[in-house]
């Protein structure tokens, strides 16, 4: 994978009236081959960022890119197509090609198991089928930079999992760059190698997933379901910020990890070990960001 910069953002501000929706002070660069996960709660500025890059909202500051708008593909949260014709005809009309004559389009339809939907009207597709349809349309463009905004929103767990596995496999060896907005951490663990963490319109941090994990969590994290007994058992160990139903123990050394796991096994307690838990990265990055009075 190359490292050529595709797009750089500097001192970007987006305001809606008196309210600042997005403020990016330190430069952010999207490089060729990047897989960037964009995370943050509602109102963090995720969709505003995408709209700024696409030129859909007014902004102050600079977005430098060698790409023309035609070289950026976008999967937005809501996509509406005509209900008057079958999906195959929408596909052929928008893409300007016949399915029967386009090898890549046939491959994508097969890859996403979409053959059975081609005769249906768009309004008769399920949520998962609509998402697959839109993904096929985006992937057919095969552009240097693609944004996926909540690509699995509203889907059940199993459908989400299958879709993400297919996305990850499809893009595995491609040099194109992806930016994925998602509030499902496990999806980004599969798809992203960099994270852009936003909160209330500000950049909490941006960097490689491994570097951010090391910075906020240490070498590894042992995660347990919360109980009073566990809290007392590990009261003298270094704990990380975690959702209320979990206890996250930081393991800065192998020795520390060994001591913790021995205690857990002795007490017959279940746990998971992670060196990439995005939810724990996100929680601790925010905690430190606001802890510093930012």
pLDDT in the model for residue 294? 41
- The DSSP bridge pattern shows strands 220-225 and 5-16 to be unpaired
Q: Selecting from 3.30.70.20, 3.30.1330.10, 3.40.50.300, 1.10.3300.10, what CATH number does the domain 5-209 have? A: 3.40.50.300
Q: What is the DSSP letter of 286?
A: H
Average pLDDT for consecutive 10-residue bins of the chain (294 residues)? 81 93 95 95 90 93 91 77 86 92 94 93 89 90 90 84 88 91 89 95 96 96 95 94 94 94 94 92 94 55
Whether the domain at 5-209 and the domain at 213-291 fall into the same CATH topology: no
Return the domain boundaries, the chain. 5-209, 213-291
**pLDDT reported for residue 25:** 94
Buried b / exposed e across 232-267, counting CB within 10 Å, b at 16+? Answer: ebbeeeeebbbeeebbbbbbeeeebbeebbebbeee
* pTM assigned to the model: 0.88
| Nearest CA-CA partner of 281 in 195, 201, 203, 192 | 195
Share of residues in the chain with pLDDT > 70 (%): 96
What pLDDT shows up at residue 223?
95
CATH architecture of 213-291: 2-Layer Sandwich (3.30)
Query: Which contiguous run of DSSP H or E holds residue 120?
Result: none
């Amino acid at each position: 994978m190359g490292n050529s910069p595709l797009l750089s953002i500097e001192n970007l501000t987006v305001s809606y009236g008196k309210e600042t929706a997005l403020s990016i002070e330190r430069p952010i660069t999207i490089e060729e081959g990047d897989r960037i996960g964009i995370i943050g709660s509602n109102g963090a500025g995720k969709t505003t960022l995408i709209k700024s890059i696409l030129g859909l909202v007014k902004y102050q500051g600079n977005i430098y890119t060698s790409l023309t708008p035609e070289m950026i593909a976008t999967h937005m949260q809501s996509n509406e197509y005509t209900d008057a014709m079958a999906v195959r005809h929408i596909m052929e009309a928008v893409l300007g090609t016949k399915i029967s004559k386009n090898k890549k389009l046939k491959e994508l339809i097969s890859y996403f198991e979409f053959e059975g939907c081609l005769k249906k009207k768009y309004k008769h597709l399920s949520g998962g089928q609509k998402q697959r349809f839109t993904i096929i349309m985006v992937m057919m463009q095969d552009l240097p930079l693609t944004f996926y905004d909540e690509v699995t929103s509203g889907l059940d767990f199993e459908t989400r999992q299958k879709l993400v596995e297919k996305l990850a496999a499809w893009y595995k060896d491609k040099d194109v760059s992806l930016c994925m907005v998602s509030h499902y951490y496990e999806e980004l663990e599969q798809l992203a190698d960099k994270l852009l963490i936003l909160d209330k319109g500000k950049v909490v941090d941006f960097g490689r997933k491994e570097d951010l994990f090391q910075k906020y969590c240490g070498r590894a994290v042992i995660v347990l379901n919360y109980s009073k007994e566990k809290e007392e058992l590990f009261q003298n160990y270094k704990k990380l910020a975690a959702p209320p139903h979990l206890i996250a123990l930081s393991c800065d050394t192998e020795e520390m990890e060994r001591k913790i796991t021995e205690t857990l096994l002795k007490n017959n307690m279940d746990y998971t070990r992670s060196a990439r838990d995005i939810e724990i990265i996100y929680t601790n990055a925010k905690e430190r960001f606001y802890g510093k009075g930012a």
